[in-house]
Amino acid sequence: MRRALRAELLLAIAGLSPIHAGQFLIVTRSAAGVWAFQDAESISVNGKEKLRSAALPAATYDSKAIGKLAEVQLSSFTIIRRAADGLILARAGASGNWQLLLPEATNAK
């Protein structure tokens, strides 16, 4: 079953036309298990393409503490995902280290 799903996923990605490809590939999965693919030129969170980055496991942060964290561009990551609890996680390259991404002027609990 997993191999079939991987094969379908690879075929779907390969089927995307490079002429119309954006900088990002957004992959979503509905509650019914249906996968969808969409290309995008840019992605923003709260209207900004820059976020703050913190190592996991993350403590709680207030807006003042978030402003002191390292600033990162979404385009610097190879994978960005929203966790089941709503947190935005990202990693770059083949590294298995996930980072927590926090928008400015928010509180993370």
pLDDT at 107: 56
Q: What are 30-53's pLDDT values in tens digits?
A: 889 999 998 888 887 888 778 888
What pLDDT was estimated at residue 58?
Answer: 65
**Which tokens go with 76?**
């610097």
Q: Is the pLDDT of residue 5 over 80?
A: no
Confidence of residue 22 (pLDDT cuts 50, 70, 90): low
pTM, whole model, 2 decimals? 0.64
> Which residue(s) pair with 22 in the sheet?
none
Token reading at 80: 């960005």
Domain extent listing, the chain: 2-40, 50-102
Q: How far apart are CA 83 and CA 10, in angstroms?
A: 23
